[in-house]
Amino acid sequence: MAYPKRGFKLASSKKGCLHTSKKGRSLILILSLALIMPLAIPAKAIPQTTAAKIQRAEELTSQEIRLRKKLEQEGKIFIKHIVVKGANLISSDSINQIISAFQKHWLTPNDIQQIIEQIKQAYQQSGLQGQPAKIEYQLKRNNLKILIQEMTQKATTQKEGTKQ
């Protein structure tokens, strides 16, 4: 009688029963579980992706890509929040009045420049000696951050003193 090469060494006992080795028993257990498991799991529990669902997902993805490209071409960015930092010489009410018209809107770079120009006009209308020396902006996700470096009267006189 020919025996299988791996893990199936059969031995007869005194009572006439056949026993397998440890490897053979574990292999038989794994195989029997593999045959029984598909019967135990209902078909609804296994997610089935149909061709129609895959096609619809691809259509939605391509539509989103086209929309994003269109928005990038037009140069518009949706701005949820606008934060102005460094404006200490003009009131926060005047800053809020300027930025409130632009928050939660689609803005172009020209719109952002318009905000900066309105802030500069607010400095001129206030009549203070502190004119903004530099106004920069940063875009992060849907947030616009406007950074103002004010030039105070003290800084102006120091610069004039160093020039002479």
Domain edges within the chain: 17-41, 77-154
Q: Which residues of the chain have pLDDT under 70?
A: 1-20, 37-48, 71-74, 128-131, 152-164
* Coil, strand or helix at 136: strand
- pTM listed for this prediction: 0.49
Q: Which CATH architecture has domain 77-154?
A: Roll (3.10)
pLDDT of residue 106: 85
Helix pair angle (109-126, 92-100), 10° resolution: 150
pLDDT of residue 29: 79
Instruction: Give the pLDDT confidence of 136-147 residue by residue, as tens digits.
Output: 999 888 899 999
Q: What is the CB neighbour count within 10 angstroms for residue 18?
A: 8
How would you list the strands of the sheet with 143-151, edge to edge? 81-85, 143-151, 131-140
pLDDT of residue 125: 82
Bridge partners, residue 82, by sequence: 144
pLDDT of residue 146: 93
Task: Provide the mean pLDDT of the chain.
Answer: 75
pLDDT of residue 129: 59
Distances (CA, A) of 96 to 6, 21, 29, 43, 120: 81, 82, 73, 59, 14
